[in-house]
Structure 1
Amino acid sequence: MFATEIKEHLVNDLIPFWQGLKDEENGGFYGYLSYDLKLDKKAVKGCILNSRILWFFSNAYMVLGDHSLLESATHAYQFLKEHCVDDEFGGVFWSLTYDGKPEDTTKHTYNQAFSIYALASYYDASKNPEALEIAWKLYDLVESKCKDEYGYLEAFTRSFEPEENDKLSENGVIAEKTMNTLLHVFEAYTELYRVTKEEKVAKQICFMMDIIKDKVFNKEIGRQEVFFDRTWNTLIDLYSYGHDIETAWLVDRGLEVLDDEAYTNMLSPITKIITENIYNRAYIDHSLVNESENGVVDTTRVWWVQAEAVVGFLNGYQKQGDKKFLDASVDIWNYIKKYFIDKRNGSEWFWSVKEDHTPDEKPIVEPWKCPYHNGRMCFEVLRRMKDAS
């Protein structure tokens, strides 16, 4: 029932919604749909949004086999190749104008990572070698320009001069390194390794696992820290519940793809602790609260946090066999159905829901609001429940 409902939601709601945002005139997909469902065809097009749409349709095709999904992925790929990639300095821009001109020329490691992630999946779906060629160029660029001896640096000008990392910093701090960017470089390299099995990528996956184990994971509290200086000193007392549950299953996925017994023995206990702690600390009222700063809990329910919790708890159940995690996964899906899926015609999920279950009036689509988290929730449930049957 659980997997059947999620497949129906994917096929009948999510896919048609995002296919309906295809910009046939200027390429890519429209970048903004307001809370009151007004489409702005001249809104900025975020390159992260386009990469995530490319990733979504590539994986939708691989899960469902409908050729129209590959066509939608190819539409996103063409826009990435022709407009998002900077032919002069290399790398992917932060954002473009509606007609594909550079709007914000910041080069951010987070953005490069999502392009690698999407291109690796698109290569797997399409077998287009050009997509893999672009992914490798971005990989080489990240390794040569976006890294120091301690890990991945984040924010750069168009020509890759370091600049302030305001785009991935929040909560009143400016961080040189963030758990969030590290996680998504890890995720991108996991996918690149999955489709290529290149040892140089495996080496960097291990490098990041060491950072997660030794610098990001707080053994005393059993959580990940969020914002850091250059040498991984934490800057703030912040517990990001969504990122922790997302990390738990993404690291487990990385371990599965890497297939290295030593790293599995080192990291698997950490993901188990993280999953258990999120269940005990953040799973409240059939959903996941957002975060806790200095011990003060933000009770907002955010769309992506719920989607990651469905996958993370399902992963916990499959890994540990404890039915409470499966029950939590199904319970949060039921919460999503009731409060997050917007029943209005021509909409998708609300951005966030208040404690009284009413939605915040935030955009339905904008540079961060995309089909990556909720789409991936659908793919993961379908793949995992199929494997279990």
Structure 2
Amino acid sequence: MSIDRAIAAEAAALRAHYVQTVLPIWRGPGFNSASQLPYEAVGADDHTPLPVTRYRAMACARQLFVFSQAGEAAHAEQLFHAMRRYFHDRQRGGWFYSVDAQGAPLDTTKDLYTHAFVIFACAHYAAATGDRDALDVIGDTASLVQARFAAHDGLLHAALEADFSVPRSGPLQNPLMHLTEAYLAAYETTGEPGYESTLAQLTQAVARNFVHTPTGAIAELPIGSADNRLEPGHQFEWFYLVKRAGPVVLGSGLMDDLTRAFDFAQRYGIDPQTGGVCAALDETGAVKDATQRIWAQTEYLRALATRGRAEDLETLALQIPRFQARFLHPRGWYECLSPAGEVARADMPSTTPYHLATAYAALPI
């Protein structure tokens, strides 16, 4: 069997588990049919929802993406309307971070990560259904982000007070990465050229402020910050996004940086025995956090498929069954493992199917 056919067969097994095991959780016990919101997490053994202390807009948006991509328009429509009903701040604009168990605003922080996922999810929902209201949400939210979250040097604050008056957090890598992902999706759905220029400006700002020059890796905090960290999973995630954006972000130089960052993350961040991707490295490549989170494993799969050299495909053919054996099980998945394979987090969050879906979509058919 050729390596392409072997990878396609392995990928088919991952997709079958996703369709037969993962999606039914979030249509059924993981979904509160009364509020039409996904629970934050369910138990690994019986899928019982964990006690409700909050519902997050980001979690609802990720589920909206998942079911839009899966072609389940009716369920996606419920999630779209619930997201707008509970999390949209009609008085001040933007989106609340979370609501409480009764659906009342809980954390009213204006969080860039949340706003990015609203744009991203609505872009996929609009592409799948043609919903005009979703297109309006994309445009309104993107305009608000650029106007209200602006910081210095083309960057954006990670979090603001509810009325946008005072920053709670300065620029951070992760929200900026997901905003890049969101603007890519918005451009692909709407075709509006403004997203191209915004993407170019955003990635240039990231390159100026977050790239660790010796390795090319994109740090979690602006370069020069105390106790900074380099996450292998985010190098793989950025590699995919910048590769996909192509000429739009060429001027940033990130493709060259991330080619080096890919090699750095692969050399120092992957357990050679198990293929497990660690959570974080320091700037020398020493392991800073050895926890193996499932999302980082999926980003490694997607990045290998995206780079697609012969040696990447050989690694991918080995890595998929390793991932399947370590992180998937008949009732779902393990969210976090220790390097020795001990379960570090047993419950299953509603946010993780997004990572599975995006990774599996990049694998050969």
User: TM-score under structure 2 normalisation?
Assistant: 0.90
Q: What is aligned with 1:53?
A: 63
Q: Which of 3, 7, 12 lines up with 2:11 in the alignment?
A: 3
Q: Which amino acid aligns with 1:236?
A: D
Q: Which of 336, 341, 347 lines up with 1:352 in the alignment?
A: 336
Q: What is aligned with 1:170?
A: none
CA-CA distance at 1:380 after TM superposition: 2.0
State the identity as a percent. 20
Q: What is aligned with 2:289?
A: 298
Describe how 1:187-226 pairs up with structure 2 within 5 A: 187-226=181-220
Corresponding residue SS for 2:349: coil
Q: Is the 8 A contact 1:94 1:108 kept in 2?
A: yes
Consecutive aligned runs of 4 or more in structure 1 exceeding 4 Å deviation: none
Q: Is the 8 A contact 1:275 1:313 kept in 2?
A: no
| 1:71-128 superposed Cα distances (whole Å, 9 cap, x missing partner) | 1211110111111111111111111123322111111111101100001110000100
Q: What is aligned with 2:349?
A: 365
**CA distance in 1: counterparts of 2:99 and 2:53, whole angstroms:** 9
| 1:122-170 superposed Cα distances (whole Å, 9 cap, x missing partner) | 00001001101011111111011001342111211211122433xxxxx
For the pair 1:244 / 2:226, whether they are aligned, the reply is: no
Q: What is aligned with 1:107?
A: 110
| 1:160-200 superposed Cα distances (whole Å, 9 cap, x missing partner) | 122433xxxxxxxxxx2111111111111111111112122
Q: Is the 8 A contact 2:215 2:261 kept in 1?
A: no
Unaligned runs of at least 5 residues, structure 1? 62-68, 166-175
Q: What is aligned with 1:16?
A: 24
Describe how 1:1-389 pairs up with structure 2 within 5 A: 1-20=9-28, 21-34=30-43, 37-40=47-50, 42-61=52-71, 69-150=72-153, 151-165=155-169, 176-228=170-222, 233-255=224-246, 259-260=247-248, 263=250, 266-284=253-271, 285=273, 286-293=275-282, 295-317=286-308, 321=309, 323-344=310-331, 348-365=332-349, 369-381=351-363, 385-386=364-365
Corresponding residue SS for 1:360: strand
The alignment covers a number of residue pairs equal to: 350
Q: Which amino acid aligns with 1:55?
A: F
**CA distance in 1: counterparts of 2:280 and 2:228, whole angstroms:** 11
1:144–1:213 distance in 2 versus 1, CA, 3 Å = same
Cα root mean square deviation, aligned: 2.0
Q: What is aligned with 2:4?
A: none
Q: Name which of structure 1's ranges 13-22 and 31-40 shifts more when overlaid on structure 2.
A: 31-40
1:71–1:264 distance in 2 versus 1, CA, 3 Å = farther
Corresponding residue SS for 1:246: helix
User: TM-score under structure 1 normalisation?
Assistant: 0.84
